[in-house]
Structure 1
Amino acid sequence: MASHKNYSQRDRKHLDADAFKSPENFETNNVNELMLKSFDDMKDKWREYCSYFRHYPDHFLDFTSSPDSKIQLYFYQRIYLRIMLRYRKVYLTATRGTSKSYLQNLAYILKCIFYPKTRLFICAPGKEQATKIVSEKLDEIFDHYPMLKSEVKDISLQKDYIRVIFHNGSRYDVVQMSDATRGGRRFGGAIEEIADKKFNGDVLNSVIIPLMANNRTSMSGSIDPNELHKSEIYITTAGTQQQFAFEKLREVYNEMMDGKSAFCIGNSYELPCLYEQLDIDFVEALKDSPTYSIMDFMREYESLWTGSSSDSLVSDEKLNKTRIVGVAEWEHCGSENIEYVLAYDVSRNEGDENALSCLVVYKITPKSNGNYIKEVVNIFSMEGQHSQLQAKFLKQKVNEFKASILVIDANGLGVSVVDNLVLDLDDGNPPYSVVNDDRYDKYQAENSIPMVFALKSQNKETRESDMINHFMQTFAKMDVGLLKSPHEGIKDLEKKTKHKIKDSDEISRLQIPYVLTDILCEEIMNLKYKQSGNDTKVERVSSRIKKDKFSALMYGLFWIHLKEQNNKIQPAFVSNVLDYLYIS
């Protein structure tokens, strides 16, 4: 490969200046003839170079850069760049610090130069988002490779739009992911952050991809059969396997495995850390942080698509649509027709930092048909403690919410918590009685409160398989409301109270239920169901993610379901009694 030094020699880069000093060659026609003759002499070599650079774009950058260039591509960046120009469909799942957007924009700038009159686009969930990405990356690219900028005729930049026009008639711009884009024509496109939850897969399939219906016509006026038409490049961090983004990834992957012009590639944080593009200490600190989500780390830094797709417990879309509860509650709201149901999953004994007990607070509002509007208004989580301390904590929450029932996991270690709940612990905590297990009747005192529903998964009435099936049906119908994201929750709280919360400690405290709801959703997305005969079970995709919050949520949902069934039986029974009395 010729070096930059060879390329910059006068006989390689310019016509012989002496030829222009001769009076007989000074006329324009003579100069043009010399230029044409020079080009004719080099035509075969130019063809070879053009073909070579289309396959080795990184060598083109080396060839046209000065020795004191501000950037030298890393090995993996060279590989990624070659893939983007050699394959029709490319799907890159990469962590932060990989320079994935930089490489995609560099690839399309080069493609616009290599293929005259081509038209390429980029889109993202938000038009302003795409414009910002292109604008920032173009500044970096032209700073690193000044010769590329000399190929640009004009750049039009607005708040939500950017268009780059090249001297050879090529164009690169931002398109909007909406029906307004319908009818346009492009020859290739890049789709940024397809795993974003705001990304609309239907718009991509019905509006964006049809933009590339036609092939580029070469300068000879015909279609080049060797050109890769309709280029698609997908650039994203990982998401969940229930998303449209994962379906598209699987589509490109299957095409690659079938030998088509497609390539799936990705990397975790180790790669950019190896080249000091990412601080390994920062990443490790995030990984060990107790407040940073394991699922977020897996997606953002390990490039792992979390959850299960074909046998997922709940669809990602429907789970997100259930997050409609704006304001978390910390006590009974005061309304007489409102009931609160507490559901508790018991952790293992203290000492296991990963073992957490979880209390889910339901607010249920009766409907005319015997069912309830079900809302999760708070979640409490605590490390494994002595069963007596857990019992006191539960009694405190029963008092605060004036709960009508406490549904508790009475399997294994949960038995000891139930044993303490039925005791008279102190003056402020009278004993409870168990409403569904007469084996506890011998502990019942005169002041015992009928409060505990001791749930045992092996009992016929509360089989685990039935609870799992009901859980799946509930979310399929979106028949429960979960708390919104922390940011949205605080905004709704401020709107309700008409008070701006400025104290950071207070914000952190108020955000806890919303953060725990985020973790709850991650637990749900990490579960897949397994059918064994007539039994349904759940399995964790990643063993690092627990399911205590999911279990507590499931227990409460099932108890409410039993109560709804009972409500529908009672009116029929009363009606039969009244008919009997009337006839008599």
Structure 2
Amino acid sequence: MSDYRSSLDSNIDKYIDLISWCRWNPDLWYDMITPETGGMILDLDQRVFLRSITRFISTYGVFPRGYGKTLKEVMGMIHTAIFFPLIEIAMTAQTQQNASSLVEEKWKELTRFYPLLLNEVEGKPSFTKDSAEINFKSGGRIDVLANAQSSKGQRRKRLQIEESALLNNELFQDCIEPIPNVPRRTIGKNALINPEELNGQINFFTTSGWRGTDEYERNLMMIKEMAELKGKIVLGSDWQLAVHYGRGEPKAALLDKKSRLSPTFFAQNYESKWVGTVDGSIVDIKQLLNLRVLECAEFKNDGKHEYILSVDVARSHKKNNNQTSIAVLKLIRTPKGRLKNIHLVNLINLRNGLTFGAQAIEVKRIRRRYSATIVVIDGNGVGSGLLDELIKDAEDPSTKENLGCWDTINTDHEAEIKNAEKVIYNFVSQASNHDGIVSIQDMVISGTLQLLIKDTNIKYDDTNYAEEIYPFVQTDRLIEEIANLKVVTQNNGKLTVQQLTKRIDKDRYSALMMGIWYIKNFLNKVIEEKEINIKNFSLTRKPKIYGKRKGASF
């Protein structure tokens, strides 16, 4: 023991130099522990990535899918946990489940590449559905948090924020930014705070998002601070850098995706471009993204609320994407019957090539699932074909169940069966489009409209989605459509919308807009009916919800 102590004391300067060198050069340290076979050879850009998160107080990285940014994030966290005793470092994501799955997956991958990492672990790492924890012999710890109110009051020494483009700045300032406020103390007798350490470090990593959002502005601010040498750095690349080094998908596959996928989707996920929100956009994209609060889609009536359907019949500029869109809107009311929120609980696109008769059967099936009280449809132009089929008596070809015959509320169309149920409201686009634009703007600004959250686990270039995933994909497509629209004032003073690129349709937007317009005009009022109390001649008020179907009274 004395010989060991003597050797340590006589070589202490060399140990200090080694630790300092390892802390400053994480990529070279990983080179040192790379096995002769089966290891990972780091490329130049990956070395820059690792050194940046080791040397700067804050790094903002915008990288495409398939780049490998999350793997490098976890490599940086492991390096920190080993070389800074008793440090606590967390990865945050949209949900703890998402963060946990990322850390677990990358930890297993890295221990295959670098088996020596297992020698640094104290005990067995713990991974569950909504938590992950890795403890190191240094006393360092890695775990996960959510970008949510549930993380408020937590304390860590450093943070890695995953998919930061989804961050709300108000939430960040209130809950996330204070988490690493307390710096790490050294483990020596004096327990000092090292002024040269990256105390309070917060790193941001993401695929690109929307221009005009809080994170877009943070990106620009950090570029300015980087130029002013304030300890910040911004990194980024498109798909070509990873392809150059032979990582991810081959160039031919990515070019094929570019030819068939939405330009906005490809720009955000592979070209690292912040897109959308030009001057005159229909709504503030930041306000729109803040409406994404619904965690669960709905596939049938919940037995408690009123639902309506809104159908925009396909008139796409791309024949291979010529789809009819159906918005399923749930009305949330106060106990007194006043409209509180509108939930877009599902957004359905009927597959290509369906005849109007087949589309009518699908619409009637969907209406039955949700017990929708009204079906709003743009029955003019292309939509007239679907309207003509909806007013016919129909039978489900699969179950042979009668789907009913519908009549219109506000037109002189004659249903096939006399006294058919009045279900259809024909939205006259030329007369009501201006009011529809104003209605959707009002509902976004007021926060009345609420949308499904963004699911970061979805592979959006896939073509087959499970039923529970599909509504989240369609909601993302809706955001993309709205971001592609610019409001134009016509000569008569009325508003209309103009697509910035014809390659992005507006069918989902139109379906949502018509439904919101109908709700605002016919289902958003409470009438106070007066009744005379004969005993004391006072007036009592009985609230009554306005908006039940009353023939052609609309």
TM-score by length of 2: 0.64
Alpha-carbon distance in structure 2 between the residues aligned to 1:446 and 1:161: 65
Q: Is the 8 A contact 1:409 1:456 kept in 2?
A: yes
Q: Which structure 1 segments of 5+ residues have no match?
A: 1-26, 487-507, 573-584
Q: Which residue of 2 aligns with 1:162?
A: 134
Q: Which residue of 2 aligns with 1:190?
A: 160
Q: Which residue of 1 aligns with 2:467?
A: 511
Letter in 1 for 2:135: R
Match of 1:390 among 349, 356, 364: 356
Match of 2:512 among 548, 553, 566: 553
Q: Is the 8 A contact 1:195 1:236 kept in 2?
A: yes
Match of 1:527 among 461, 464, 482: 482
Q: Which residue of 1 aligns with 2:231?
A: 261
Alpha-carbon distance in structure 1 between the residues aligned to 2:237 and 2:480: 22
Q: Is the 8 A contact 2:60 2:233 kept in 1?
A: yes
Q: Which residue of 1 aligns with 2:322?
A: 355
Using the TM superposition, give the Cα deviation of residue 176 of structure 1 relative to its aligned residue in structure 2, in angstroms: 4.9
1:92 to 1:380, Cα distance in 2 relative to 1, 3 A = closer
CA displacement, residues 411-447 of structure 1 (integer Å, 9 cap, x when unaligned): 66557777x6799999x999977936xxx89x99997
Using the TM superposition, give the Cα deviation of residue 564 of structure 1 relative to its aligned residue in structure 2, in angstroms: 3.9
Match of 1:316 among 270, 276, 289: 289
Q: Which residue of 2 aligns with 1:87?
A: 56
TM-score by length of 1: 0.61
Give the 3-state SS of the residue equivalent to 2:233 in structure 1. Answer: strand
Q: Is the 8 A contact 1:520 1:550 kept in 2?
A: no
Q: Which residue of 2 aligns with 1:505?
A: none
Letter in 1 for 2:226: M
Using the TM superposition, give the Cα deviation of residue 320 of structure 1 relative to its aligned residue in structure 2, in angstroms: 3.3
Alpha-carbon distance in structure 2 between the residues aligned to 1:425 and 1:410: 18
Alpha-carbon distance in structure 2 between the residues aligned to 1:184 and 1:424: 63
Q: Which moved more, 1:518-527 or 1:134-143?
A: 134-143
Alpha-carbon distance in structure 2 between the residues aligned to 1:253 and 1:176: 27
Alpha-carbon distance in structure 1 between the residues aligned to 2:390 and 2:140: 75
Give the 3-state SS of the residue equivalent to 1:348 in structure 2. Answer: coil
Q: Which residue of 2 aligns with 1:122?
A: 90
CA displacement, residues 518-549 of structure 1 (integer Å, 9 cap, x when unaligned): 41453135424756677655566775432202
Using the TM superposition, give the Cα deviation of residue 89 of structure 1 relative to its aligned residue in structure 2, in angstroms: 0.3
1:108 to 1:183, Cα distance in 2 relative to 1, 3 A = closer
Alpha-carbon distance in structure 2 between the residues aligned to 1:132 and 1:433: 50
Using the TM superposition, give the Cα deviation of residue 181 of structure 1 relative to its aligned residue in structure 2, in angstroms: 8.4
Q: Which residue of 2 aligns with 1:470?
A: 439
Using the TM superposition, give the Cα deviation of residue 64 of structure 1 relative to its aligned residue in structure 2, in angstroms: 6.6
Using the TM superposition, give the Cα deviation of residue 78 of structure 1 relative to its aligned residue in structure 2, in angstroms: 1.2
Alpha-carbon distance in structure 2 between the residues aligned to 1:424 and 1:157: 63
1:433 to 1:302, Cα distance in 2 relative to 1, 3 A = same
Letter in 2 for 1:465: H
Alpha-carbon distance in structure 1 between the residues aligned to 2:189 and 2:430: 76
Alpha-carbon distance in structure 1 between the residues aligned to 2:38 and 2:330: 64
1:103 to 1:411, Cα distance in 2 relative to 1, 3 A = same
1:175 to 1:212, Cα distance in 2 relative to 1, 3 A = farther
Supply the RMSD in Å over aligned alpha carbons: 5.9
Judging by fraction of residues, say which structure has more helix: 1
- Counting aligned pairs with the same residue, the percent is 20
1:540 to 1:263, Cα distance in 2 relative to 1, 3 A = farther
Alpha-carbon distance in structure 2 between the residues aligned to 1:207 and 1:392: 50
CA displacement, residues 163-195 of structure 1 (integer Å, 9 cap, x when unaligned): 2133xxx62432655878847563x33334546
Alpha-carbon distance in structure 1 between the residues aligned to 2:316 and 2:176: 56
Using the TM superposition, give the Cα deviation of residue 58 of structure 1 relative to its aligned residue in structure 2, in angstroms: 2.7
Using the TM superposition, give the Cα deviation of residue 510 of structure 1 relative to its aligned residue in structure 2, in angstroms: 9.5
Alpha-carbon distance in structure 2 between the residues aligned to 1:245 and 1:467: 30
1:237 to 1:393, Cα distance in 2 relative to 1, 3 A = closer
Alpha-carbon distance in structure 2 between the residues aligned to 1:184 and 1:444: 65
Give the 3-state SS of the residue equivalent to 2:90 in structure 1. Answer: strand
Match of 1:107 among 72, 76, 81: 76
Alpha-carbon distance in structure 1 between the residues aligned to 2:211 and 2:57: 24
Alpha-carbon distance in structure 1 between the residues aligned to 2:6 and 2:337: 90
Alpha-carbon distance in structure 2 between the residues aligned to 1:272 and 1:511: 33
Alpha-carbon distance in structure 2 between the residues aligned to 1:200 and 1:131: 23
Using the TM superposition, give the Cα deviation of residue 210 of structure 1 relative to its aligned residue in structure 2, in angstroms: 4.0
Q: Is the 8 A contact 1:89 1:262 kept in 2?
A: yes
Q: Which residue of 2 aligns with 1:497?
A: none
1:564 to 1:51, Cα distance in 2 relative to 1, 3 A = closer
Q: Is the 8 A contact 2:478 2:509 kept in 1?
A: yes
Alpha-carbon distance in structure 2 between the residues aligned to 1:430 and 1:111: 67
Using the TM superposition, give the Cα deviation of residue 80 of structure 1 relative to its aligned residue in structure 2, in angstroms: 1.0
Q: Which residue of 2 aligns with 1:327?
A: 299
Q: Which structure 2 segments of 5+ residues have no match?
A: 395-401, 456-463, 531-554
Q: Is the 8 A contact 2:310 2:327 kept in 1?
A: yes
Q: Which moved more, 1:254-263 or 1:214-223?
A: 214-223
CA displacement, residues 118-168 of structure 1 (integer Å, 9 cap, x when unaligned): 724123346676566556655655664567777x484563344322133xx
Q: Is the 8 A contact 1:194 1:235 kept in 2?
A: yes
CA displacement, residues 434-461 of structure 1 (integer Å, 9 cap, x when unaligned): 936xxx89x99997988875544443xx
Give the 3-state SS of the residue equivalent to 2:508 in structure 1. Answer: helix
Give the 3-state SS of the residue equivalent to 2:136 in structure 1. Answer: strand
Alpha-carbon distance in structure 2 between the residues aligned to 1:452 and 1:260: 61
Alpha-carbon distance in structure 1 between the residues aligned to 2:178 and 2:305: 50
Alpha-carbon distance in structure 1 between the residues aligned to 2:443 and 2:313: 23
1:406 to 1:75, Cα distance in 2 relative to 1, 3 A = same
Give the 3-state SS of the residue equivalent to 1:174 in structure 2. Answer: strand
Using the TM superposition, give the Cα deviation of residue 113 of structure 1 relative to its aligned residue in structure 2, in angstroms: 5.8
Letter in 2 for 1:317: N
Q: How does 1:149-548 map to 2 (within 5 A)?
A: 152=120, 154-155=122-123, 157-159=125-127, 160-166=132-138, 171-174=140-143, 176=145, 182=153, 184=155, 186=157, 188-194=158-164, 202=171, 205-206=174-175, 209-214=178-183, 227-238=197-208, 249=219, 252-256=222-226, 258-280=228-250, 284=254, 287=257, 301=270, 303=272, 308=277, 311-312=284-285, 315-321=288-294, 326-328=298-300, 343-348=310-315, 352-360=319-327, 381-382=349-350, 390=356, 393-394=359-360, 397=363, 407-409=376-378, 413-414=382-383, 435=410, 454-459=426-431, 462=432, 464-477=433-446, 479=448, 511=467, 515=470, 518-528=473-483, 538=497, 544-548=503-507
Alpha-carbon distance in structure 2 between the residues aligned to 1:103 and 1:405: 51
Aligned length: 494
Using the TM superposition, give the Cα deviation of residue 102 of structure 1 relative to its aligned residue in structure 2, in angstroms: 3.1
Letter in 1 for 2:311: Y
Q: Is the 8 A contact 2:392 2:415 kept in 1?
A: no
Alpha-carbon distance in structure 2 between the residues aligned to 1:142 and 1:435: 67
Q: Which residue of 2 aligns with 1:58?
A: 27
Give the 3-state SS of the residue equivalent to 1:72 in structure 2. Answer: coil
1:454 to 1:183, Cα distance in 2 relative to 1, 3 A = closer
